[in-house]
Structure formats: structure tokens, C-alpha cells
Amino acid sequence: MKQIDVVIQNPTGLHARPARVFVDTAKQFRSAVRVRHKEKQVNAKSLISLLTLGVEAGQSISIETDGEDEAQALETLSDLVHSGLGESLTDGSPTNGHPAQAPAAPSAAPPMPANTIRGIAGAPGIALGPVFQFRRATIAVQEGAGTPAEERARLTAALAEARTQLALLYEQTKDRAGVEEAAIFEVHRDLLDDPDLLANVHALIDGGQSAAQAWQRATEEQAAALAQLTDPLLAERTTDVRDVGERVLRVLTHAASTAPALPAEPFILIAKDLTPSETAALDPARVLGFCTAIGGPNAHTAILARALGLPAVVSAGSAVLELPDHSFAILDGGAGTLTATPDEATLAQARAAQEAITAKRAAAAAAAAEAAVTSDGHRVEVVANVGGVEDARKAAASGAEGVGLLRTEFLFLQREQPPSEDEQYAVYRDIVTAMQGHPVIVRTLDIGGDKPLPYLNLPAEENPFLGQRGIRLCLAHPDILREQLRAIFRAAAHGPLRIMFPMIADLQELRATRKIVDEIRAALDAPQVEIGIMIEVPAAALMADLFAPEIDFFSIGTNDLTQYTLAMDRTNPLVAAHADGLHPAVLRLIERTVQGAHAAGKWVGVCGELGSDPQAVPILIGLGVDELSVSAPAVPTVKAQIRGLALAECRERARQALHCATAAEVRQGAMHVEV
């Protein structure tokens, strides 16, 4: 056995993100890894157990390793702690230079009107309306259990279903709110595999309990242990454990939902607490804002509210739970207050403040429909990444000049068989119609490896990101591709539509796919559509000059291009934080792609996350990128930023960036960008 003492220097202690990095690394070793803090010692391969230690900044832990690779495990883990567990040791932000989302700053406290409950600012904005008390139904867990083997099988199936649900929720939240915000659902997925939690559940099942009873008891115990912690940031993780606990319990008990029926008219939602899943599911057309009795500004619920633009007050205390349904209230998310049954003067003041915010947003929305033209007359198209019909409607409303990436995989996930041609056709048609004449780029199914489809019976792969993904998978299962292409060509009759293939690495793949496209088009007697490929594999970027004559456009998927260029798995928290698309190597590949395309008279878009990174926008434009495809809510801001730039200046920035040594240097040079 080996042991070492180390000090946790992360500014917010061993909270969820660095703890997850620690656990993921510990799991890579065969040795047992334990962490001791004060009187308590836990299994370091269990995220929940590690969090319950409640290690705060500046406190020391003792790492113990025991087994065949104990020396290596100890060295790696202690180095990891010294290097900050994937975080900057000065401000706790991820080390990729992207600023971590700051909690909404409470505005200077004005004199409080009567009947005002003060909580903590969760997300800015003002909401006026009737309140609705959100009281969940409790899940009824029946007495009685099958044999332990039957109950274990039930649990395994429920965990698999929960994993699929969370994968979908991750993708949807990523599109609505961003990658950082969606990451909480990856943590939830990890909790499903937590060895200590599962060991407890299995022990209870072996003792004669049903899977539901055992799961409920074990998750409640873990949540209660977390709730005891004095560090508020760690105690806020209780909600995450309860959220995951309920998700699996709903599957096990076949309970459709624990959420109450919501009023038809817009309302201010009041709850003891909201889980991240519930927050992500709130319909902004009906929920004006929310106020929770507990929770904190750094909990994922508040982070999601900010990303979704939903005014929110958290930690307002139990008094808010006493407000009667339908009573009128003012929620001020910036000030962190909720005023019940306001008097006329307070109401008038709140209305005026709300109108001022609305007017500002309306001005931005009005400008959103205008073209994005730099001060020296260079036009850049700004389009949206969408995952479904609702996203497309939002994109059109936020001024998107088209859809630059339709991720069709949403249609294929979370089901037992692939969607039929008719079903796909209806969705593609509705998206094309929603975009009102603006072009829609439909990406053919990008699945495989890390995003398996149960009905395809895909073999497990050692390195799924280097395996049968994207177009490789479609060429191996051409029936799926053919069916999808038929649906796409039928939808093309309803508006301008383009087709794009993911993960192309060589010309042979493009030619084989085009052959299938031509056959389907001819069989349907459909008109020609523009065909493009994603540039996600460095090989394709380097060969852009040879691809260009055979396609109509390129769309650079910087998420994957970065992962493959830097050899950093985009889902591995140990390295993902360093996988920065502003790395000069990635920029050089983008430059090469643009050169190859423009020489052949073809255009280039960027549809990865880099396209909405304010520090990247001028550089991408300077490199000659013609179109940026970003999430719908980012369209107005990206357009506004472009209007404040000059092409000549962008070119100079791009030139400098190409000669930087690291992504950090590129970002330093871009620091003065005004956003």
C-alpha cells in the first residue's frame, strides 16, 4: 500500500467538476484507491462518496493506493491534484481559458417594498404574474419483490433507460443552453455507475428488497449525507443525487412524471427546489420565472436558468411556499427578491423596469433580422445549429439566416427502432417550412461509438471516437442512409435544403456516399440539392483542395476537428478542458480548408462551438470563413459582434493567431475583443 498527503488548492474545494476528474482518473487504475479526510475514508472511485468528504479549499487529503499499479496511481493522482484537477488554481475556471459562467451578481439593494421576501439572485430579469406552487407527487414504491436476480435485472434495465434519457437531455440542453451547462447531465450519467451507490443497492436487493425500494433508500441516504456538508457548494449537489434518484425510480415504478399539471396561463413557479432536469424541461412560454425556497446560485438549476434566460430567485426560504396559488407577485431575479401582492406604486415601478428590459431586448431582436455586415462592408452569414422543429422555429425568430447544421441523430435516439421514412420526412419538412425560405443543411446521421443505437447492435469498440462513427457507420448500414436520404429528398420539395455528410476522412467515402445519393435522387426524380461535407478529421482539412471540386460547400465541425487534431477526447474531462479550438494547429487547418474551398469557388461555414466564441469570431472571419452556425440564442449577439468588426482588422488578428505557439497565446492576443 502507498500513501501521500496533498492539499486541495482549487478555490472552491473538491466540488463536482474536479472531483469527477479525480474519480475518472482513479478508475483507470486496477489498484484500490481511497481518500481520507479528517476522520472519514472513502472509495475514490465513487463520485458521491468523494463529494461527501466535503473537502474545502486549502484542506488536505490523504490518498492511499493498494494494488499492482499502486505507485503509478499515487503519482498520477497527486500530480493531478497539484495541477488543479483540470481547473485554473486562481479562479476555478476550466483551464481552457473560457470564462466559467459567473453567478448573477445581485444588484445593489434598493429599499425593499413591503411583502418582499429576499433570496439570492439566481438569474436576472423581472417577471410579473400569478404564482403557482410546484408540488411534486411522491413516487409510490410498492411492497414486495421478486428474486434478487430478477430485481438486479430490473435495476440494470432501468439504469440503461436512464442513461439513454440523460444522453438525450445532454444533447438538448447543449443546444438550448451550451456545453458547460449541459455537462451536469454527464455528471448525472456518472452517478448511475457510482460503485459505492450500486454496492449499497445490490446489498439491499440481496437482503430481499425490490430494485425500487433499494434504489430509493440508497439514493436518499447518499443525498442526506451530502446535505449535511457545511460547504454550501458541495451541499448543493444533493439536488443532483435526488434528481438522478428520481429519474431511475420513475423508470422502475413506471411513473410517468412526478411534476404536477401546470396552469395554462403564464405563471411564476414556486418550489422548494427544482432539479436540473425539471429546470431544463421548463417551457419559457408558460413559466415567467421561478423562485425556490432552497438551492444556491451555483447549483445547476440556477446556471441553467441563466443560460435559458429565465428570471430566477433561489434560497428564498420556506415563506415562499406559503404564498397562495394565483396570488400576484413580482419576481426580480437580478435583485434576488419576490414581492407578494405588491401595492400599486411598487407594481408600476416593476412594470417600468420590466418594460425597459423588454425594450432593450426588442431592439436587439429587431436588429437580429438584419444582415451581419462588418464596418468595412464584408457580409458574414449567421445561421443556427438545430436539433428539431422547435429549435428551428426559435432559430427563425432569432434572426438566423438558415440552419447550418441539423443534427438528425435526435430522431434516432431513445427508441427501439429507427424512425420510419415518413416520420423523418415530416420532421425535415416541418423544419424546412419553419425556416421560411432560408436554407437548411441536413446532416446525415452522425452516430456510432459513443452514441450507440440499441437497435443496431453495434459491437463495443475500444476507441469509439476512432471507430465506426458518422459516415463510416452509414456506409456500413446503407439501408439506414437510404431511408434517411429518401425522407430528405422528399422534404426538399418544401424549401431550400442542402445535405451534408459527417466525419468524412477520404475521397472514397465521399464518392461512395454520393453514389447512393444520386441513386435515391434519380429514383425519386427529385431536383438536385447542394452537397457538402463536414471538415472534422484533419485528413479532410489537409485534402480540402482535392475535395473542393467534388462538393458545394464545407462546414467545419471544430468540436471534432479540435479533438482529432490535438488527440484529446472531447468527452474525457482530464483533457477536454485543454481541447481549445483556438489552438494554432486547428486554425492552420481551418486556413487550409478555406484556401482549398475558395480556390474552387466554394464556401466554408463553421458549425462547431468555436463559431459562437467571441474571441474566435474575428479570427474565423479573418481566416475567410463565410458562414457561422451557432445556437439560436447566440444568433443576435454574434451578428451584433460582427457589425462592430472590420474585415481588415480580423485578417490581421487571424495572421497573428496563426503564428502563435499555443491557444493561450491566441486568446491573450484576442483579449481586447469587445463583446
Cell of 346: 411598487
Distance CA 611, CA 631 (A): 9
Which residue type sits at 465?
A: F
How many residues in the shown chain lie near ligand PEP by CB under 6 A? 10
Q: How far is the CB of 579 from Mg ion (least distance, A)?
A: 13
Q: Tell me which DSSP letter residue 361 carries.
A: H
Q: Give yes or no: 15 in active site.
A: no
SS3 state of residue 206: helix
Which range in 144-152, 256-264, 549-557, 570-578 contacts Mg ion by CB under 5 A? 549-557
| Residues paired with 129 in a beta bridge | 329
Q: Are 301 and 274 in contact (CB under 8 A)?
A: yes
Whichever of 175 and 236 has its CB closer to ligand PEP, that residue is 175
Closer residue to ligand PEP in complex, CB, 37/176: 176
- Binding segment toward ligand PEP, per CB under 6 A, in 103-111, 302-310, 340-348, 557-565: 557-565
Minimum CB–partner distance for residue 626 and ligand PEP (Å): 16
Give the DSSP letter string of 515-569: HHHHHHHHHHTPPP-EEEEEE-SHHHHHTHHHHGGG-SEEEE-HHHHHHHHHT--
Do the beta carbons of residue 333 and residue 104 sit within 8 Å? yes
Here's the x/- map for ligand PEP, 417-446, by CB under 6 A: it reads as: -----------------------------x
In terms of DSSP bridges, do strands 379-386 and 372-373 run parallel, antiparallel, or are they unpaired? Answer: antiparallel
Residues within window 385-414 making contact with ligand PEP, judged by CB under 6 A: 405, 407
Q: Identify the residue among 106, 439, 608, 636 touching ligand PEP (CB under 6 A).
A: 608
Measured CA to CA, the distance from residue 409 to residue 395 in angstroms comes to: 19
What one-character DSSP code corresponds to residue 461?
-
Three cell numbers, residue 619: 479570427
522, 498, 385, 380: which is closest to 444 by C-alpha?
A: 498
Nearer to Mg ion, 183 or 673 (CB): 183
- Only segment of 20-28, 131-139, 447-455, 556-564 that touches ligand PEP (CB under 6 A): 556-564
Residue whose C-alpha is closest to residue 446's, from 474, 421, 484: 474
Is 557 a binding residue for Mg ion by CB under 5 A? The answer is yes
Q: Which of 536, 613, 626, 627 binds ligand PEP (CB under 6 A)?
A: 536
Q: Is 332 in the site for Mg ion (CB under 5 A)?
A: no
Task: List the catalytic residue out of 15, 37, 188, 300.
Answer: 300
Question: Taking phi first (over 0 means left), then psi (-120 to 50 degrees means alpha), and beta for anything else, what does residue 567 get?
Answer: left
- Beta carbons of 94 and 100 less than 8 angstroms apart: yes
> CB-wise, 245 or 449, nearer to Mg ion?
449
Task: List phi, psi (to 5°) of 554.
Answer: -115, 150
Q: How far apart are CA 302 and CA 304, in angstroms?
A: 5
- Residues 524-543, interacting with Mg ion (CB under 5 A): 536
Note whether 557 binds ligand PEP by CB under 6 A.
Answer: yes
182 binds ligand PEP (CB under 6 A): no
Cβ-contact 304, 280 below 8 angstroms: yes
**407 interface partner picked from Mg ion, ligand PEP, none, CB below 5 to 8 A per type:** ligand PEP
Q: Work out whether 122 is an interface residue with Mg ion (CB under 5 A).
A: no
Task: Note whether 560 binds Mg ion by CB under 5 A.
Answer: yes
Footprint on residues 100-129 left by ligand PEP (CB under 6 A): none
Among residues 522, 373, 362, 534, which one has the least CA distance to residue 442?
534
300 classed as catalytic:
yes
Catalytic position from the list 291, 477, 583, 607? 607
As measured in angstroms, the least distance from the Cβ of 559 to Mg ion is 5
- Residues forming contacts to ligand PEP in the complex (CB under 6 A) are 405, 407, 446, 536, 557-560, 607-608
- State the catalytic residues: 300, 607
- Residues forming contacts to Mg ion in the complex (CB under 5 A) are 536, 557, 560
